[in-house]
Amino acid sequence: MISTVNCVADAVEEDSSLIVAFASQEGDMVDQHFGSAQAFYVYQVRVESNGLIASKHFGYEKKDGNEDKLKPKLTWLQGSDVVYCGSIGGSATRQLVTLGITPIQVKGGPDIDELLDSLQTQLRGVPEFWLANILKKKQKQAAGEERFDIDDDESWD
């Protein structure tokens, strides 16, 4: 289900799944520079399935080095694990990494469906190094949350 949200984190139903954003004009292929992207399409990816959970359209932006245009995109993408884009500048890369989002630059306008299939194949088998690191981080976060849930059930006598 596609939802209208203030940020990607608001659309995430399950913390253990991979949340992947794609910079895409029409939602079919990765064909946008991160800073001037007119839209992002976000998918929740699991071993057995994937689905579009949110999308956001932004106005036309020039590739002019203006840092202010990054702020709304960075704010909205919070909660994503990965962002695929056609190209990305150093400043945007640093800001995404600071937010815990891994930027992936791809050339040739690959189809989003093909990238999703590749991610699911990696989730079923041996993930690439960058994806394995994301999955480890998510497992640690989930384990930490479970520990606190157990503590909540115990009384503090």
pTM comes to 0.86
- Is 121 a domain residue? yes
**Residue ranges making up the domain that contains 36:** 8-153
Question: Tokens at residue 49, please?
Answer: 């399935």
pLDDT tens digits along 72-125:
999 999 999 999 999 999 999 999 999 999 999 999 989 999 999 999 999 999
Residue 22's CATH number: 3.30.420.130
Q: What stretches of 13-125 show up as alpha helix (H) in DSSP?
A: 70-77, 90-98, 112-124
**Which comes out higher in pLDDT, residue 22 or 145?**
22
pLDDT tens digits along 4-54:
788 999 998 777 899 999 999 999 999 999 999 999 999 999 999 999 999
- Is 1 a domain residue? no
Query: How many domains in the chain?
Result: 1
- Is 2 a domain residue? no
Give residue 150's pLDDT: 46
In 3D, which of 33, 9, 23 has the Cα closest to residue 89? 33
